[in-house]
Structure 1
Amino acid sequence: MTQSEQQRPEIVVGLVATPPDQPARVAERLTAELASGLTERVSADVRWIVREGWGEVAPRRDGGAEALLDDLAQRRADDQWDVAICLTDLPLHAERMPLVAQTSARRRVAVVSLPALGLHQLRAASAAVPDLVSGLLSDVSDQRVSSAGGAPAEMARRLPAVHRVLSEADAGEQRYVASGLIGRARLLTGMVRANRPGRALLGLSKLLVGAFGTAAFALTTDTIWQMGDALGGLRLSVIMLLGLAALVAWLIVAHDLWEKPDRDTPAELARLFNLGTILTLTLATAVSYVVLFVGTVLVGALLIDTSVLEQILERPVSFTDYLTLAWITSSLATVGGAIGSGLENEETVRAAAYGYHPEPDGWRDQKNGQPHSRR
């Protein structure tokens, strides 16, 4: 460190991810670039130090953003940070509008709801967090940085369909909400992104194997060939949708993935959790269906000779007939795959539930960045 760097005032920014799942992944990558972003956009006359930490596995749901801000303020005071930012995957609301972020100058903290940022959460967080830090330091009149009164407005301009609302209860609080259909659609896509549908897809490997086994058996029966030939595109589409819906419903019921409102989980939050779970499972099962369909087409083309298929259908056949055969076979096999889902590891399948977060292997030490076990 040069002498000029030692002479610059130091500001410590704490970045807390709760739960240590998708928010921790975003926080880890954001930490690496946040100091340079703060230097560029807030003040180059300050030496910025960013501390990364993990929050609770199951963040408080009953108090919404206020509860998170209270917990974060205590964490900031205990660790002696100047300001603290919380990244969470909780879908928060303010007056029935998706809440993107909320700041509290009195507590010198801010919370960011990653789902409200949509699919590109790291990029949006990188754009928003420096403005939140600048706004907090400006609101508390920190002498180490110049006044940044335009930071709140800057953040609202950086994120599309987001506007700022001043709190009437606390003059030092500001909320950033996403309005209209764009904001709600972005919240739902962000929830699916935060729930990591790829993890759910990999977790359903035994289901896919069971479906392949069912499809392979169905391809050997000429009754299926005749059914595929007789059914039209509309009825085949209905059978496919019913099969996928039945599979998603079976996964939710068999593995108890449905979130029920209780004292700690308001009804609105439970509905969002359930919607996030349904969308995640729907996406995962749809991708599994595509993989099953492609595999069934290839197997059908290899096993069923064209002359045999023409003899059963009593007409000339083309590659389209193989696609139709794979279509009905894959749709019926998804129901058989539901039986295979009962063989999945319970922890793996439950990870698809939006409100469920498995205990991580270790907790990141705040001082040296090394993981250690949680007691």
Structure 2
Amino acid sequence: MEVKTVGIVSSPELPYTIANIIKKKFKHDLSNYIAEGKFEWQVEVELDLLTGATEKVAEVLEAAEHLKKRNGWDFAISLTDLPIYNGKSIVLADANITACTAQISLPAFGWRPTPNRVEIIMLHMIKELYFRQTEEYENNDLEQKGIGPRDPKKQKSFFKKLEEPFRFSAVRRIESSNKSGETTVRFIIVPKLNGLARILLGMTIANRPWTILPSFKNVVAIAFATGAYGLIFPTLWKLSISYEIYRFIGLTATAVLGMVIWIIFAHDLWEKKSNENKNQLRWMYNSTTVLTLGTSVVIYYIVLFLLFLIAVSVFVPPDLYQAEADKAVGPLNYLKLAWLVTSVATFAGAIGAGLENPEGVRRSTYSYRQYSRYEEIKEKEKSGSMKNKGKDDPQ
């Protein structure tokens, strides 16, 4: 039996993890849904650093084509956490029919790039590549084999399965050919605003915001010490009783936002405008950084709140608290006191503590893609500064 091989070219971290998870199931589904019984399908996964670092879509496809030829694959699919655009449209996946290569963008899946959802799109891309290479492209024929129709009116029913994991979005199929005769098929997310939101959430998940929490140990220590000391004095007790809920919410938002801004500028995480970046991607990366740190700080805030809830329950006597309040106090008052102390301590922690390892923070905050981009831009800026300095130095 003839063997057909599909190579999954993956960028590091989350894409590589997903690729290895779906490898076995993908092989089984290829055998069931594409030329059933005609071929024996093999699936190989290869890690490629370029796929995770470059923001040039053409380079990603060229790298996939190079690996396809080198390894003797029949098809190659790049799995990347790079956002892909077609003009201003968000691309979920695209394929070069002529070269038998495709790529899938994980950020377009939003906050749930689960292996099952990725595998559904990957199977569709192989169907596009296989059937377009072996049979005449006729809507009524190939549509039944899993190929999207050219006619936009027929696409809605065809993409019903794709829309299931994209409940609030629609998927559209676009086909085009260039002067070289290469045919490209793209799946884009519409409407644009929804696609943009998915990209931001997807890139934030790829950055793994929970991994930065170990770097908050010094901040938690200083914040908890400051808050515990503040609990000795009745001022915070009185304020927690007199404050309305909107004040607590305002303090929380200000404390979280202030800490996010402090971390960004203290550790140089804001990507500045330069000749090496595009405004659209720069805005996307900076927005992702804010969302990533915002998620991390919110988790930190919740942990600190739980610690203070235990502290006020143990160290603030009900009778003394009631005497200061001049009225009966209950569990709600203790919750409000812990809430207030958490916000005050977060301010103190942000101002008075430095995170343990700036490099570790940067690696935790950025995915491989964004960290590589950051390092590349810094290196180019450094080289440019050295050249300018050399020109300015007197001979």
TM-score, reference length from structure 2: 0.81
Unpaired segments ≥5 residues, structure 2: 150-157, 164-169, 373-395
1:4 aligns to what? none
Quick one: distance in 2 between partners of 1:187 and 1:195? Answer: 12
Quote the offset at 1:317 in angstroms. Answer: 1.3
User: Could you say what secondary structure the match of 1:167 adopts?
Assistant: strand
Asked whether the 8 Å contact 2:83–2:108 carries over to 1, the reply is: yes
Quick one: distance in 2 between partners of 1:229 and 1:307? Answer: 15
* Alignment partner of 1:356 is 2:356: no
2:190 aligns to what? 179
Asked whether the 8 Å contact 2:91–2:108 carries over to 1, the reply is: yes
Which structure is higher in helix share? 2
Asked whether the 8 Å contact 2:301–2:346 carries over to 1, the reply is: yes
Length, aligned pairs only:
347
- 1:333-355 Cα offsets, whole Å, 9 max, x none, are 11222257623222331121355
Identity %, equivalent residues = 27
For 2:172, give the aligned amino acid. H
Select between 47-56 and 165-174 the one with higher mean Cα deviation: 165-174
Quick one: distance in 2 between partners of 1:341 and 1:352? Answer: 18
Which of 37, 42, 61 aligns to 1:49? It is 42
Quote the offset at 1:168 in angstroms. Answer: 4.4
- 1:62-90 Cα offsets, whole Å, 9 max, x none, are 42x22211121112112221110011101
For 1:344, give the aligned amino acid. E
**Per the alignment, do residues 57 and 292 of structure 1 end up closer, same or farther by CA in structure 2, a change over 3 Å counting?**
farther
2:208 aligns to what? 196
1:87 aligns to what? 79
2:17 aligns to what? 25
* Alignment partner of 1:252 is 2:264: yes
For 1:129, give the aligned amino acid. M
**Per the alignment, do residues 72 and 246 of structure 1 end up closer, same or farther by CA in structure 2, a change over 3 Å counting?**
same
Which of 82, 92, 116 aligns to 1:100? It is 92
Quick one: distance in 1 between partners of 2:264 and 2:242? Answer: 33
2:134 aligns to what? 141
1:372 aligns to what? none
Which of 110, 119, 132 aligns to 2:125? It is 132
* Alignment partner of 1:284 is 2:284: no
Asked whether the 8 Å contact 1:11–1:82 carries over to 2, the reply is: yes
- 1:118-140 Cα offsets, whole Å, 9 max, x none, are 23322211111112112112222
- 1:264-297 Cα offsets, whole Å, 9 max, x none, are 4321111111111111111111122112112211
1:272 aligns to what? 284
For 1:28, give the aligned amino acid. N
Quote the offset at 1:110 in angstroms. Answer: 0.5
Quick one: distance in 1 between partners of 2:76 and 2:92? Answer: 16
Unpaired segments ≥5 residues, structure 1: 1-7, 359-375
Asked whether the 8 Å contact 2:75–2:126 carries over to 1, the reply is: yes
Quote the offset at 1:178 in angstroms. Answer: 0.4
Quote the offset at 1:202 in angstroms. Answer: 4.1
Quick one: distance in 1 between partners of 2:228 and 2:334? Answer: 14
TM-score, reference length from structure 1: 0.85
- Could you list the structure 1 runs, at least 4 aligned residues long, displaced by more than 6 angstroms after superposition: none
Quick one: distance in 2 between partners of 1:153 and 1:42? Answer: 15
1:192-341 to 2 correspondences below 5 Å: 192-339=204-351
1:151 aligns to what? 146
2:173 aligns to what? 164
For 2:161, give the aligned amino acid. R
In angstroms, what is the RMSD of aligned CA positions?
2.4
For 2:190, give the aligned amino acid. S
